Amino acid sequence: MNKRVILIGLISLFVSAHIVKAQDILKLSVQEAEQYAIEHNRTMQNASLDIKQAKAARWQTLSSMLPQVSAGFSYQNYCGYELNMMGMPIPMNPSGTFNTTVSMALTGAQVVGTMLANLSIEMADITKQQTEQSISKSVRSVYLSILVMEKTVSLLDSSLVNLENLERTTINAVKAGAAEQVDADQISIQVNSMKNNINSTARSLEMLYNSLQLQLGADINTKIELTGSLDDILNTDGVKSLLLESFDINNNYDYQLLKKSEELTKRQVTMSWMDFLPTISVYYQYSKLTYFGKDAGFSMTPPNMIGASVNLPIFSSGTRVAKVKEAKINLQKMQNTIKSTEDALYVQERQLRYNLVSALENYENQADNIDVSQRVFNNILTKYKYGVSSSLDVTNASNNLITAQSNYVQSVMTLLNAQIELETLMNNNK
């Protein structure tokens, strides 16, 4: 009976551990990885909080124009003192005063301040979208780098298998007296070099997974598995379609923020003019005086009071005029910055298109080169087995294949990054 209980307990622990382990594995496609990062990345969370913060600041500005209500209570005890007025004693009994004040003040600066607060919310929203775009770009770039690196490892493993088979054949040939030891040594050196390349690539791959984990905002104990493949993501037709799309500068987030900054600067010019307008204030106060003694005593506190005031600025020794001039100068500087940015973005768009075209052409060339290098390497291996080629020929062919593989992988990475850069600038799918 005890053995059965222990067995059931061990099985339960194993199942529980298996479930926890399964929960710690995060399987993601590239689109799922981007979405996961948008939901969990802390930088993205801060961008969302910035919008809430801007809305709270706007409410502070709005509330300053709304009625303000305050209430208070005061207690006075004159310790039996009597006021003598024309020979008539007036008792100063203990009393308490309750008062309520409703006030409201309005200035032109408050109205413009509300407009500025609305612009701040709009800018915070654009910044959030830009942050989302930046995070998606980073996640996609790292995701693709991992796939490219895994492709590199796969290519190197395939070459290593061929070299190891050749190494065994050469060693057997040396034992049989059909080949020299130096041939086997050269092949062994090539095998060791290939293994070192694979180990180095594997370490780089681990670093990329760590980087992706940080970008996603996932728990450090979570294991990440990529469900996407390089062949699915590497779409040359999509690249060619992207090259045919037109560039609308208004879709670019940097440009949108600059235009909002221009609006903000214009509002600041308007706000500087508001210093010439009067400040209007109104208030109402209610007071209730209560005596705690038997007699009412003497009181000069009116129960109701209404007041209003208008404060008109007249002379400030040119301070307000100088403030307006400064705001206008800032507006001119901002407009110059926008014009320079427009020119820079159009130049950047042309450059990124050129980079993408060059990357596409290089990728197509490197794809052909790796096929040719692989066929040459296989042909040299076959000839070497039959004694037609030398071990030096094999080494040269192996080096050429490794170089071709490296160039191919680099061309894939360059193409994907060039595509991401142009898509980010154009932002046509926002």
Contact 370, 400 (CB under 8 A): no
* pLDDT, mean of residues 191-217: 87
Q: Strand, coil or helix: what is 395? A: helix
* Paired strand residues for 274: none
**pLDDT tens by residue, 214-257:** 888 888 888 888 888 887 778 888 888 989 999 999 999 999 99
Question: What fold is seen in the domain 21-66+107-278+319-426?
Answer: Outer membrane efflux proteins (OEP) (1.20.1600)
Q: What's the pLDDT at 294?
A: 60
Q: What's the pLDDT at 157?
A: 85
**pLDDT tens by residue, 302-356:** 888 888 888 888 877 778 888 888 888 999 999 999 999 999 999 999 999 999 9
Measured between alpha carbons, how far is residue 170 from residues 175, 190, 382, 385, 391 in Å? 9, 13, 12, 8, 9
* pLDDT, mean of residues 194-202: 86
pLDDT surpassing 90 at residue 362:
yes
* pTM exceeds cut of 0.95: no
Q: Strand, coil or helix: what is 100? A: strand
Q: What's the pLDDT at 19?
A: 39
Which of 34-43, 75-84, 242-251 is predicted least confidently?
75-84
| Beta carbons within 8 Å of 313's beta carbon, 6+ residues apart | 275, 276, 278, 320
Q: Which residue has the higher pLDDT, 90 or 22?
A: 90
**Confidence band (pLDDT; 50, 70, 90) for 75?**
confident
pLDDT surpassing 90 at residue 365:
yes
Find, among 38, 422, 411, 425, the residue nearest to 251 by Cα: 425
Structural domain boundaries of the chain?
21-66+107-278+319-426, 68-105+279-312
**Confidence band (pLDDT; 50, 70, 90) for 297?**
low
Q: What's the pLDDT at 178?
A: 67
Q: Which residue has the higher pLDDT, 82 or 354?
A: 354
Contact 411, 239 (CB under 8 A): no
